[in-house]
């Protein structure tokens, strides 16, 4: 029974608010209010469209960040100094002169 009463009250409230909206333009200044409400809706739709556009662009940034990260790793590998090669330039000992055997 409580649900029925609540639904009845809510439906009556909805009907009253709908009536008030229909009568609003007839009131002094009501037309201006309706104009502002309509402009607000239009602006809200524009804002939603812009937000959707920004969201799409931000999703693309994840891919770009991953590519930059991969490139940074590759560059770091290329910039590492090459390991120093051990050069064996030690002077060879001259062969001892053979003494003539007599």
- Cα–Cα distance list, 16 to 9, 20, 52, 74 (Å): 10, 6, 35, 68
Most confident of 13-17, 18-22, 68-72: 68-72
Q: How confident is the model at residue 65 (pLDDT cuts 50, 70, 90)?
A: very high
Phi, psi of 81 (to 5 degrees): -65, 140
29: alpha, beta or left, given left = phi > 0 and alpha = psi -120 to 50?
Answer: left
- pLDDT at 102 exceeding the cut of 80: no
Q: What is residue 99's three-state secondary structure?
A: coil
Q: What predicted TM-score, i.e. pTM, was given to this entire model?
A: 0.36
Per-residue pLDDT, 33? 78
For residues 24 and 32, the answer to whether their CB atoms sit within 8 Å is no
Give me the chain's average pLDDT, please.
80
């Amino acid at each position: 029974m409580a649900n029925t009463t609540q639904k009845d009250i809510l439906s009556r409230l909805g009907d009253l608010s709908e009536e008030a909206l229909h009568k609003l333009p007839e009131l002094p200044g009501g037309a201006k209010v309706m104009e502002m409400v309509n402009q607000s809706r239009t602006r809200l739709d524009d804002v939603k469209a812009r937000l959707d556009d920004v969201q799409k662009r931000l999703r693309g940034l994840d891919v770009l960040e991953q590519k930059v990260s991969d490139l940074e790793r590759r560059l770091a590998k290329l910039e590492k100094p090459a390991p120093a090669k051990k050069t064996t330039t030690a002077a060879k000992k001259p062969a001892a002169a053979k003494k003539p055997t007599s």
